[in-house]
Structure 1
Amino acid sequence: MTVLPRAPSRALGVFVSPGGRVLRPVAKGAAMKRLLFALVLALPMLAGCARPPTRLTIGVRNANDHVPFFLADDLGYYQSAGLQADVRIFPSNTELVEAARRGEVQLGAVPAPSAVAAIAHGAPLVIVAMTGRGSDALLVRADSGITDLAGLRGRRVGTIRGSILDLLLRQSLQAAGMDADRDVQIEYFSQLGDMLTALRSGQIDAASHTEPFLTQAEQEGWGRILLYYTHDWPDHPCCVVFARRDLVERQPELVEQVLRIHARAVDLAVADPLAAARAIGSRMKGFDLAVIQASLAPDKMRIDDHLEAREIERLAEAMYAQGLIERLPGRDEMLDLRFLERLGR
């Protein structure tokens, strides 16, 4: 007699196989709960895959010590971190600071005095890192006969008002026993190129200038570097990284992410000066690659992200003493160094 397989006993919630083995299926309710639980666990991963990249505008200048931003952009560091970063070059520090004040720029780099002055005047910015040191000096014509700072007495010296070049010029003259407003004739310019043209043509006798223009003038034979300002302030801060205060408060993890990328690019620029020179040369036209690479020499400047609070306070105090700012901001108003501390920088 043929034995037919038993029909499932739905009342008991069991099935019997043709071999007589009792099978206990999972109840529909329990199966559905497990499925829903798995979906909930998967949602963050699915959302991460579909999340659009974070948009960010980073403002910089055409300057040697802004090269970490150039490298990070060229090598896709921001993109690989899920950031859609627009690294935008501004023609002047004033325009960059104003764009940041309006919220068009969220992070960026400017000379330290520009950042301090902006904060002193109420801009919602805070300094979060360094990007370069040194690179500034006094340049004279090779045939000028000027051999030291004393030779500048009564001469016309060019600089940019309120800039790092202005501050360091005044400090070096003071260290030499001279007063910038009494012992020399200060001529203010708004563009570095115009100042260099004025020096070469004899309209001024010296220029407070920066790299790679200094090295180019010497290699072309018409200029001579009289004094690097590191002579009076070794390893002085040049350009700093700033962030809008609302970004720091609302998205501190994003600021830390950008600074992690910045640190990586700083390390690359230090380890590979040729790569750094190429990144600068692709943006600063009119300079030979060899000139740019020579201008990055350690005795002239240093790419760096580390920052000590006291050096910015010292800079702000000097600005206040020289009348470059009317109010002296406090440490917490100017600086937020917790991100560098977290990164071990």
Structure 2
Amino acid sequence: MTKTARSLAALVIGLCLGAGWFAATADAAGDKPKIKVAAQATSGQVFQFLAKDKGYLDDEGIDVEMVYINNGTDAFSALSSGKVDVISTYGTGGPLIQIANGQKFSIFGGYMIIGATPVFALPGTEYKGIESFRGKKIAIMRGGTPDIVLKGILHDAGFDLNKDVTFVEIKRNQDVMEAVRSGQCEFGAVSTGFEPQINESGMRIVLWPDELWPNHSCCRMLSQTEWMGANPELLKKLLRAYLRAERDMQSPGGMDTVVKLTMKELDMPEGLVRSFVQSPHLIYETDPYKNNVVTMWKKMQSFDYIKDQTVAIDDHLNTAIYKSALDSLLAQYPDDPFFKKKLEMYNQYNL
């Protein structure tokens, strides 16, 4: 048979077998659908690290490319332009502001439900409770979890956020710390992973916001709504892998493994990694926590962070993909206590 004849024969066989032939060829070549996930390099994506190490992504037949972006504005821009498919460590308040401003984003899962966002001051600054904030300057990054949660706490305590306290908006966590260290502001609040730097700078933590607003909703996983609608099975596979990773994290020795993987992936010293990975003020959760997100949305509306009352937040909250991933794991592991507990949590925080 000539080379031309062999090529024609292969084409005919391919046409006869249809799409299945092409899929088999792709599998044989090792091709996998890819998901680009953006995260901050200061905290990483521990579910990803563990899912990759354990082979869960391979089990699902997907490839995940991590893209590290340390600025929320840049991350939202990357998502809206299609440079990344998913973002995961940029809080809840920031994404909600984007949605309120017309971005077609939807939340489908979680990463942290609380995220170790300390409020701090110089050692000589008096702090006897939240009334100590009255009349003071607080350095903050606008739109981040520390900003939204602290403002929500003060608003609920009866503070007029425009009169009773002055928020000084700064672009970087490092500059927030410098504003307090230099005396420009009495207090500051920063994102996950900065506790060691606060201590090394001679300052002290005066408040962990989760103590006053438990499960306030920190980092959520979100995508463009249209992309999500076109790729539900792909996201289901991602969440299946991450749920299995979360189960391993909670097993004996699981967090030690996470620490080692995070040290390797982010090139960080052990002490720094343990300071946030094992912080009692940080809880990793894949669950979407829809009800908690809605609570934050309403609270942001109450202190005029979200002014447009016409956007329906329910249109931007997708719990079906997570539930499908969880149901499939329960079918696969019907006696697994971890997945049973996750179903109880889903029913509590999403229905």
- TM bucket by the smaller chain? 0.7 to 0.9
Give the percent of matched residue pairs that are identical in Structure 1 and Structure 2: 19
CA distance 1:278–1:189, change in 2 (3 Å): farther
1:299 corresponds in structure 2 to 280
1:126 counterpart letter in structure 2:
S
The answer to whether structure 1 residue 207 and structure 2 residue 188 are counterparts is yes
3-state SS in 2 of match to 1:145: coil
Give TM-score, length-normalised by structure 1: 0.79
Distance apart, 1:189 and its partner CA: 0.8
Distance apart, 1:77 and its partner CA: 4.3
3-state SS in 2 of match to 1:64: coil
The answer to whether structure 1 residue 85 and structure 2 residue 64 are counterparts is yes
Counterpart-to-counterpart distance in 2, 1:296 and 1:85 = 21
3-state SS in 2 of match to 1:53: coil
Counterpart-to-counterpart distance in 2, 1:269 and 1:53 = 26
Distance apart, 1:159 and its partner CA: 0.8
Q: 2:37 aligns with which of 54, 58, 63?
A: 58
CA distance 1:177–1:47, change in 2 (3 Å): closer
2:323 corresponds in structure 1 to 341
- Where in structure 2 are the equivalents of 1:85-164 lying within 5 Å? 85-109=64-88, 110-134=90-114, 135-164=116-145
Counterpart-to-counterpart distance in 2, 1:341 and 1:204 = 45
- Where in structure 2 are the equivalents of 1:1-345 lying within 5 Å? 43=21, 45=24, 48-50=27-29, 52-64=31-43, 66-73=45-52, 77-79=56-58, 81-109=60-88, 110-134=90-114, 135-218=116-199, 220=200, 222-271=202-251, 272-282=254-264, 288-297=269-278, 299-328=280-309, 329-344=311-326, 345=342
Deviations 1:87-121 (A, max 9, x none): 10112111111111111111121211121122222
1:26 corresponds in structure 2 to none
1:102 counterpart letter in structure 2:
S
2:64 counterpart letter in structure 1:
A
Distance apart, 1:40 and its partner CA: 5.1
1:32 corresponds in structure 2 to none
Deviations 1:200-253 (A, max 9, x none): 2222211112332125423x3722221111122112210000122222222211
Q: Is the 8 A contact 1:273 1:293 kept in 2?
A: no
1:17 corresponds in structure 2 to none
CA distance 1:55–1:295, change in 2 (3 Å): closer
CA distance 1:256–1:229, change in 2 (3 Å): same
Q: Is the 8 A contact 1:159 1:166 kept in 2?
A: yes
3-state SS in 1 of match to 2:102: coil
Larger helix percent = 2
Gaps of 5+ in 1: 1-35
2:323 counterpart letter in structure 1:
E
Counterpart-to-counterpart distance in 1, 2:148 and 2:41 = 20
Counterpart-to-counterpart distance in 1, 2:248 and 2:42 = 17
2:188 counterpart letter in structure 1:
A
3-state SS in 2 of match to 1:158: strand
Distance apart, 1:193 and its partner CA: 1.1
Distance apart, 1:63 and its partner CA: 4.3
Q: Is the 8 A contact 2:152 2:300 kept in 1?
A: no
3-state SS in 1 of match to 2:280: coil
Q: Is the 8 A contact 1:65 1:131 kept in 2?
A: no
Distance apart, 1:284 and its partner CA: 5.3
Distance apart, 1:266 and its partner CA: 2.6
Distance apart, 1:257 and its partner CA: 0.8
3-state SS in 1 of match to 2:142: coil
Q: Is the 8 A contact 1:62 1:283 kept in 2?
A: no
Deviations 1:284-329 (A, max 9, x none): 56x6412431433463110111123211111111112222222243
1:67 counterpart letter in structure 2:
V
Structure of larger gyration radius: 1
Larger strand percent = 1
3-state SS in 2 of match to 1:136: coil
Counterpart-to-counterpart distance in 2, 1:183 and 1:236 = 23
